């Protein structure tokens, strides 16, 4: 760690020593828009990564999944065709089978809550992606114990603009995007924006039994429309409608951990979402009133061939029967949310004009029904309803023009009800308190340092286990609380083309919620969460963007993480007892590294190369199997003109084979041959993209 800190200091010294350069491309201020008050990233006392539309376009990223390697201490679980389950600083779910959702990482898309079902994180016409690490106890409460991800699309424009893009590549990739924006009624200050995309590809698997190469394929359609109206008298109304239709295959596992599958019943990973948001902003003399109303309906089907092979694969003479199994979960989720927020303006500061303030109330209602059919466990239908109600406030007290104290508080109640066709009923009710105290000091125009203490929480929940022998006292679990201690440094010098953000953090987790699983004699699995006394997660996050020459740009990020359980042991069915005390938590690699180098010539030539590295990590809390460390290289070259551009690109160009999910269980008819199974990431893909704007 000392070498890394020395490197950071040397880079900053060199940047300060270099002559100021003229940069043709304007450097825009990076704003955090998902906080309680819109504010420059360099002024905020938190660890955050922001990817702007320009950086997304330069990388050619099509889905949030492709941005993950650039964000320190961020990982995902390859449990589904697209990432639904994301871990920040080693905290986050890796699957969810029970029908009682309880997310650790919040996800917003245009202010609409998609926590736990974020596979619709398309980057179609996206303006900005913000990842706030650490508990967001004031801003977002129970769904943001580990942090918050916010994806914001572009707003309508008062002048017409149009964008078309087509891509083609290996794995039979075909993609089309179109965007149109402009005034709908100049007289009434009404502007519109439409965006649509369609993506198809085969999915990097060959099903040898069926003779198909598309059983793990992608077939995704997105549509978004936005309307913005301005009264001219301090009122703005912003309407967003989002439609996503994901009709993806799911045939990702094989007995030999290869890209060749043998399933006779390939699964599906489908999600159809219709969602809308209405945001009304009105400026009064002393404050701004912001009302945000959202609704989302998602129909989700997740299924897979549970035995991973075709009927007759196993020797019937040996086992005495034809072993076959299938899993399918059909889910429907509705979410409704309403927030009212009052935000002070400079003229309404309190305490002798020293303090900006924010106050608000928030409500979220989640209804989810599940129907699960599993060969070994049978059929289970369940209904889950959770209502979150919260009040929150924040004060920013400016003791001097350079020294600011931020204090925030949120009180939240979560009232949930669960029932199922197995006559199980649970009604957990939790009231939780979180917040933040942070002191920031603006050393000079380019350096801001801060220290903070923040508290986050995650509600308790239920374990609707279909097993009569599962202890009754373990069928519910308590809330988890997390205290985050953090110091950080923001360096922002656009004139020299350099920004840098560094944070050191220590998180103490109390009543830590740990997920586990057991395979029964029948072959069925039970999934559960239980509380243990405590655990800790601590480390470092650093990112740097440096345009050291008008044509050259360097991007890098580092995440260092150490995490451990305290006083925790586990006894899986097929192994000796495992003492997990002091062991790293699952999906929490000790390091992650990203390096990108980009060249952009004024004559139009463009080139970019990226190197990403991830340390090994434990796949689960239920066993000690680990991934292997891996390194992935992406590259992109192109030619850009004012209205059009063309790019040749390659992802994973050295065809690195690595796992994003891993299991350790028996998948034979006698359930005795315990083995390690992994879900492999995508192989090398080469392609071409053509864009046209007017």
Mean pLDDT of residues grouped by 10 in the chain (694 residues)? 43 41 50 89 94 95 95 94 94 87 94 92 96 93 92 96 97 98 91 98 97 97 97 92 97 96 96 98 93 97 94 74 88 97 93 95 96 88 96 97 96 95 92 96 96 95 80 86 97 92 97 84 79 94 95 97 88 68 93 97 96 96 92 97 96 97 88 90 97 94
E strand or H helix that includes residue 538: strand 525-549
CA distances (Å), 484 to each of 47, 435, 526, 620, in order? Answer: 11, 10, 32, 24
Distance CA(600)–CA(605), nearest Å, equals 6
Q: Of the candidates 208, 205, 211, which has an alpha carbon nearest to the alpha carbon of residue 248?
A: 205
Residue-by-residue DSSP string for 415-477: EEEEEETTS-EE--EEEEEEEEEEEEEE-SSSEEEEEEEEEEEE--EE-----TTS-GGGSEE
The CA-CA-CA angle for residues 81, 84, 90, to 5°, reads 120
- What local confidence, expressed as pLDDT, does residue 50 receive? 95
Cβ neighbours of residue 317 closer than 8 Å, sequence gap 6 or more: none
| CA dihedral of 313, 319, 321, 327, whole degrees rounded to 10 | -60
Give the three-class secondary structure for 627.
coil
Cβ 89 vs Cβ 132: under 8 Å: no
Distance CA(331)–CA(267), nearest Å, equals 15
E strand or H helix that includes residue 264: none
| CA dihedral of 305, 307, 308, 314, whole degrees rounded to 10 | -140
* Bridge partners of residue 411, in order along the sequence: 391, 433
Q: Which two tokens stand for residue 248?
A: 């993806």
**Cβ neighbours around 166 below 10 Å, total:** 14
Distance CA(226)–CA(154), nearest Å, equals 9
Cβ 90 vs Cβ 587: under 8 Å: yes
- What local confidence, expressed as pLDDT, does residue 131 receive? 97
Cβ 662 vs Cβ 643: under 8 Å: no
- What local confidence, expressed as pLDDT, does residue 25 receive? 42
Distance CA(337)–CA(36), nearest Å, equals 16
* Bridge partners of residue 245, in order along the sequence: 221, 272
Cβ 687 vs Cβ 169: under 8 Å: yes
- What local confidence, expressed as pLDDT, does residue 318 receive? 57
The CA-CA-CA angle for residues 336, 338, 340, to 5°, reads 175
Cβ 517 vs Cβ 543: under 8 Å: no
Cβ 193 vs Cβ 201: under 8 Å: no
Cβ neighbours of residue 252 closer than 8 Å, sequence gap 6 or more: 78, 81, 205, 216, 261, 304, 679, 680
The CA-CA-CA angle for residues 104, 361, 138, to 5°, reads 45
**Unique residue bearing structure tokens 């006559």:** 423
Give the three-class secondary structure for 217.
coil
Q: With the C-alpha atoms ordered 648, 654, 660, 665, is the resulting torsion angle positive or negative?
A: positive
Q: Are strands 591-600 and 86-88 parallel, antiparallel or unpaired?
A: unpaired
Largest Cα–Cα distance in the chain?
87
Domains of the chain plus CATH, in order, are 2-693 (2.40.170.20)
**Unique residue bearing structure tokens 């609704």:** 295
CA distances (Å), 390 to each of 356, 359, 381, 606, in order? Answer: 21, 11, 30, 49
- What local confidence, expressed as pLDDT, does residue 526 receive? 81
Q: pTM of the predicted model, to two decimals?
A: 0.93
- What local confidence, expressed as pLDDT, does residue 320 receive? 66
Distance CA(481)–CA(531), nearest Å, equals 11
Q: With the C-alpha atoms ordered 569, 572, 578, 580, is the resulting torsion angle positive or negative?
A: negative
Q: Of the candidates 384, 334, 392, which has an alpha carbon nearest to the alpha carbon of residue 361?
A: 392
Q: Which two tokens stand for residue 34?
A: 């998902």
- What local confidence, expressed as pLDDT, does residue 465 receive? 80
- What local confidence, expressed as pLDDT, does residue 21 receive? 40
Cβ 694 vs Cβ 162: under 8 Å: yes
């Amino acid at each position: 760690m000392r070498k890394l800190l020395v490197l950071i200091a040397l880079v900053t010294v060199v940047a300060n020593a270099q002559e100021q350069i003229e940069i043709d491309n304007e450097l825009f201020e990076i704003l955090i828009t998902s906080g309680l008050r819109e504010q420059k990233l360099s002024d905020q006392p938190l660890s955050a990564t922001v990817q702007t539309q320009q950086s997304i376009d330069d990388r050619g990223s099509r889905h949030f999944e492709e941005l993950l390697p650039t964000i320190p201490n961020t990982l995902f679980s390859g449990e589904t065709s697209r990432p639904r389950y994301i871990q920040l600083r080693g905290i986050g779910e890796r699957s969810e089978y029970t029908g009682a959702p309880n997310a650790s990482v919040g996800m917003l898309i245009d202010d609409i809550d998609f926590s736990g079902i974020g596979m619709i994180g398309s980057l179609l016409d996206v303006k900005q992606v913000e990842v706030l690490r650490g508990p967001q106890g004031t801003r977002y409460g129970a769904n943001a114990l580990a942090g918050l991800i916010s994806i914001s699309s572009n707003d309508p424009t008062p002048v017409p603009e149009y964008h078309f893009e087509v891509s083609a590549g290996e794995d039979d990739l075909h993609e089309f995007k179109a965007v149109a924006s402009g005034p709908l009624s100049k007289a009434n200050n009404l502007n519109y924006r439409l965006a649509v995309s369609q993506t198809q590809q085969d999915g990097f698997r060959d099903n040898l039994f069926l003779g198909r190469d598309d059983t793990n394929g992608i077939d995704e359609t997105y549509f978004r429309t936005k309307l913005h109206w301005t009264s001219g008298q301090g009122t703005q109304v912003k309407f967003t409608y989002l439609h996503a239709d994901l009709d993806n295959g799911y045939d990702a596992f094989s007995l030999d951990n290869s890209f060749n599958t043998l399933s006779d019943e390939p699964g599906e990973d489908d999600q159809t979402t219709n969602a809308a948001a209405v945001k009304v902003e009105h400026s009064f003399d002393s404050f701004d009133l912001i009302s945000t109303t959202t609704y989302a309906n998602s129909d989700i089907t997740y299924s897979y061939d549970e035995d991973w092979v075709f009927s007759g694969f196993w020797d019937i003479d040996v086992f005495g029967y034809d072993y076959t199994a299938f899993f399918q979960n059909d889910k429907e989720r509705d979410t409704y949310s309403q927030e009212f927020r009052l935000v002070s303006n400079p003229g309404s500061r309190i305490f002798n004009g020293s303090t900006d303030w924010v106050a608000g109330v928030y409500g979220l209602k989640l209804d989810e029904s599940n129907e699960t059919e599993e060969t070994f466990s049978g059929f289970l239908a369940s209904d889950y309803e959770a209502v979150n109600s919260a009040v929150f406030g924040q004060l920013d007290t400016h003791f001097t023009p350079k020294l600011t104290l931020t204090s925030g508080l949120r009180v939240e109640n979560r009232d949930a009800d669960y029932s199922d066709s197995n006559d199980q009923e649970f009604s957990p009710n939790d009231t939780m308190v979180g917040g933040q105290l942070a002191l920031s000091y603006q050393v000079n125009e380019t350096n801001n340092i801060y220290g903070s203490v923040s508290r986050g929480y995650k509600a308790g929940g239920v374990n609707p286990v279909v097993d009569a022998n599962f202890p009754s006292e373990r069928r519910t679990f308590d809330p988890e609380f997390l205290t985050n201690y953090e110091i950080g440094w923001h360096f922002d010098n656009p004139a020299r083309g350099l920004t840098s953000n560094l944070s050191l953090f220590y998180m103490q987790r109390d009543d830590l919620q740990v997920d586990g699983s057991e395979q029964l004699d029948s072959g069925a699995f039970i999934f559960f969460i239980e509380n243990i006394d405590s655990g800790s997660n601590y480390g470092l996050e650093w990112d740097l963007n440096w345009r050291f020459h008008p044509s050259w740009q360097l991007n890098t990020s580092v995440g260092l993480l150490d995490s451990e359980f305290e006083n925790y042991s586990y006894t899986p069915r097929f192994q000796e007892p495992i003492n997990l005390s002091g062991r790293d938590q699952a999906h929490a690699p000790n390091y992650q590294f990203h390096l990108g180098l980009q060249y952009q010539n004024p004559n139009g030539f463009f080139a970019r190369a990226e190197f990403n590295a991830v340390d090994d990590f434990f796949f689960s809390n239920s066993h000690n199997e680990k991934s292997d460390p891996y390194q992935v290289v992406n590259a992109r070259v192109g030619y850009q003109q004012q209205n059009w551009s063309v790019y040749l690109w390659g992802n994973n160009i050295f065809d690195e084979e690595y796992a994003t999910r891993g299991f350790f269980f028996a998948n034979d008819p006698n359930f005795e041959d315990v083995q390690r199974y992994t879900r492999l990431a995508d192989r090398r893909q080469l392609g071409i993209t053509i864009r046209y704007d007017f």
